[in-house]
Amino acid sequence: MKISKDKLVFRILGVFLIILITVFCVVPFVLIVTGSMTSQASILRDGYRFVPKEISFEAYKIIFDSPNMLLKAYAVTIGITVIGALLGLFLTSMASYVLVSKDFKYRNHFSFYFYFTTIFGGGLVPWYIMMVKYLKMKNTYTSLVFPLLMNVIYILIMKNFMKSIPDAIFESAKLDGAGDFTIFINLVLPLSKPALATIGLFIALNYWNDWYNAMLFIDKQELYPLQYFLYNILSKLDFINQSASRSGVPVPQMPSEPMKLAMTVVATGPIVLLYPFIQKYFVKGITIGAVKG
Amino acid sequence: MKNKNGILSELQKNKTKFIMLLPAVLYFFIMCYVPMSGIVLAFKNYTYSGGIFGSPWVGFKNFEFFFKSGKAFLVTKNTILYNLAFLIINNTLQITVAIILSELTNKHFKKFTQSLMFLPYFISWVVVGAFIYNLFNYEFGAINTILKSIGWEQIDVYSNPSAWKYILVGVSAWKWVGYGTVLYLAAILGIDPEIYEAADIDGANVFKKIRHITLPSITPTIIVLLLLSLGNIMKGDFQMFYQVVGNNGLVLDATDVIDTYVVRSLMDLQEFGMTAAAGLYQSVLSLLIILGANKLIKVIDNDYALF
């Protein structure tokens, strides 16, 4: 097969650029993994490198020797992720179903009611005071679940998807005497499975990666979700390192550098492992969302 | 009167639907509309016992304090400049990658590279913060290790404010390249293949086809996405700024945006009134910019208008 010269030039440049960007995207992950398997002494002496000079799994050993806090944080995150994603998904799809129903006269008014919240807000302070003072959410699991439960963009994506379900299906169900809620549960939900998977995973990812709400509302360590737990460990180990180097006292006999990275690996592992299987749903969600609703 | 009857009869007819919509309506009422009433705080001296509505009024004192602190101009400037840089660089990169991927024919290569480029989107900003530390740490960060090994001088970004412009722009590009590529690739795949075939027959080369077919075809998408992100220009990617830069006082002037300023004032200083004023200032500016952007969209293509 003959390829014209312009195509050849374009492809060589293009492939080169794509490979370069891909490498940039992957390198930090590789560095974290290799760094977590390097001995503390080697890091302090040789710095972080792609291929560790002295391999050591001490950091992982320390983490898994007393895994209680880590397991607790994992449990909190898994709990809020599952509950939040299921509840959020149910409420989002129920609202979307009503908003695409053609016989619901005020659907545009309500759509605007939701949409307006994306263009104007009261700001962080009134919201924070409401959550803490009036809803008494400080140090509760609810404060981690509630803020990420629903999102206008997901309602829009869901609406876009549900629009593609033919009206005739609802009409015939109505003629058979089915109510709206029955139609929603028995017809709409099964037909929307791909969209449900997509939105469910978007919501789940938000919960899994959340540390911000924990920073605002949680100060009891046993309530920390995984990412905030990681953040705390990282800053604590940083603090130990800094004060040790400032005062000249040798860093305590703890592999603090590889531990930070090992902790990061342990907290990120599940997402990266699941990633190949869930990626396609995110691609679908972005594509549906790009269609104006 | 007629209107009221309309609502009542509608309520009766679609009772189940109203009930099904109720949780979402209540949710956004509590999370968004109730706090909107809290903007009165910007004009009050907040006391815990008084709460939002019982605290004494102070007029424009909070705004005065915010603007006189000298911070207002700095954080506004930083917010706008950073967001403009993100907007231009991220979109250029994403469009370039999408166009290249659409022209390549090896499916496995396309799929493989696209997957890996999408990976950064999935990790939390805390982890990105760990990456940054791992790369840029002065004593043993990976970049400085490489610089040392080839005999160059190490760089200490943590005491060098101007370095953070590049780091933040780079991190943002890195995090979003996969996401945006998916978006633009979808737009490119929507172009009618017959147009390309016709161009092939006319003997157009690859660069000509990109310039005269691909780019003009995705221009509406580009414009709309750009104008949409313009609406967020007063907000920042708070999580990115907070995690990537960390609590580093030395580089604050170069990296402080409205969002970080607001959270810091709230969490560290407990300056409720002044922070609420800064938040209101941000919300109103945002709203004005969105209304302006929407007007602009209407001029370009009415179909894409937001409302």
* B11 and B150 co-located in one domain: no
- The answer as to whether A27 is a domain residue is no
When CB atoms are compared, the residue of A14, A31, A47 closest to B144 is A47
* B80 and B39 co-located in one domain: no
- State which residues form the domain around A55: 32-290
- The answer as to whether A22 is a domain residue is no
Q: What is the mean pLDDT of residues B61-67?
A: 83
Domain count, chain B: 2
CA distance A222 to A71: 10
* A141–B contact, CB cutoff 8 A: no
- Reduced to 3 states, what is the DSSP secondary structure of residue B3? helix
Examine the pLDDT at B111 and tell me if it is beyond 60.
yes
Distances (CA, A) of A186 to A158, A167, B53, B209: 17, 15, 46, 48
- The answer as to whether A274 is a domain residue is yes
What the block records as the tokens of B278 is 């800064």
CA distance A95 to A170: 16
> Residues A78-135: pLDDT tens digits?
999 999 999 999 999 999 999 988 888 888 889 889 988 888 888 888 898 889 888 8
Last residue of a domain, one of B31, B54, B77: B54
pLDDT value at residue B175: 93
> Residues B176-216: pLDDT tens digits?
998 889 888 888 888 888 888 888 888 888 888 888 888 98
Give the H/E segment covering residue A74: helix A68-100
Q: Which DSSP category does B141 fall into?
A: -
Stronger pLDDT, B127 or A249, i.e. the higher one: B127
How far out from the chain centre does Cα A197 lie?
A: 14
- Closest residue on chain A to B205 (Cα): A6
CA distance B129 to B137: 11
Contact A106, A44 (CB under 8 A): no
Contact across the interface for A287 and B182, Cβ inside 8 Å: yes
Looking up residue B216, the CATH number of its domain turns out to be: 1.10.3720.10
Lowest mean pLDDT among A246-255, B117-126, B155-164: A246-255
Q: Which residue has the tokens 């090994």?
A: B149
> Residues B36-46: pLDDT tens digits?
888 888 888 88
> Residues B220-272: pLDDT tens digits?
788 877 877 777 788 877 888 888 887 777 778 888 888 888 888 888 877 78
Q: Which DSSP category does B247 fall into?
A: S
> Residues B65-84: pLDDT tens digits?
888 878 888 888 889 899 99
* B196 and B237 co-located in one domain: yes
When CB atoms are compared, the residue of B51, B103, B104 closest to A133 is B51
pLDDT value at residue B1: 44
A237 HSE (CA, 13 A, CB side): 22
* B197 and B79 co-located in one domain: yes
pLDDT of chain A along its 293 residues, tens only?
Answer: 567 788 888 888 999 999 999 999 999 998 888 888 888 777 777 777 777 777 888 888 888 888 888 899 999 999 999 999 999 999 999 999 999 888 888 888 898 899 888 888 888 888 988 898 888 889 999 999 999 999 998 998 888 888 888 888 888 888 888 888 988 998 889 988 888 988 999 999 999 999 999 999 999 888 999 999 999 988 888 777 666 666 665 555 677 788 888 989 998 888 888 888 888 888 888 877 665 43
CA distance A273 to B55: 51
* B29 and B77 co-located in one domain: no
* B215 and B287 co-located in one domain: yes
CA distance B274 to B75: 14
Q: Which DSSP category does B249 fall into?
A: G
Contact across the interface for B127 and A267, Cβ inside 8 Å: yes
CA distance A284 to B109: 20
pLDDT value at residue B172: 93
pLDDT value at residue B263: 85
* B99 and B17 co-located in one domain: no
> For B44, phi and psi rounded to 5 degrees?
-130, 160
- State which residues form the domain around B50: 2-54
Contact across the interface for A32 and B130, Cβ inside 8 Å: yes
* B20 and B152 co-located in one domain: no
- The answer as to whether A6 is a domain residue is no
Q: Chain B residues with CB inside 8 Å of A117's CB?
A: 28, 31-33
- The answer as to whether A7 is a domain residue is no
pLDDT value at residue A230: 92
Examine the pLDDT at B170 and tell me if it is beyond 80.
yes
Q: Which candidate, A113, A202, A153, A159, places its Cα nearest to that of B231?
A: A153
- The answer as to whether A165 is a domain residue is yes
Domain count, chain A: 1
pLDDT value at residue B92: 93
pLDDT value at residue B5: 61
Beta bridge partners of B57: B44
Stronger pLDDT, B54 or B291, i.e. the higher one: B291
What the block records as the tokens of B235 is 């907000």
CA distance B147 to A224: 38
Distances (CA, A) of B117 to A133, B94, B103, B178: 43, 11, 17, 5
Exposure pattern of B283-300 as b/e (b: 16+ CB <10 Å)? bebbbebbeebbeebeee
When CB atoms are compared, the residue of B37, B142, B178 closest to A48 is B142
- The answer as to whether A266 is a domain residue is yes
Q: Chain B residues with CB inside 8 Å of A92's CB?
A: 24
* B151 and B18 co-located in one domain: no
* B31 and B119 co-located in one domain: no
* B171 and B210 co-located in one domain: yes
Looking up residue A51, the CATH number of its domain turns out to be: 1.10.3720.10
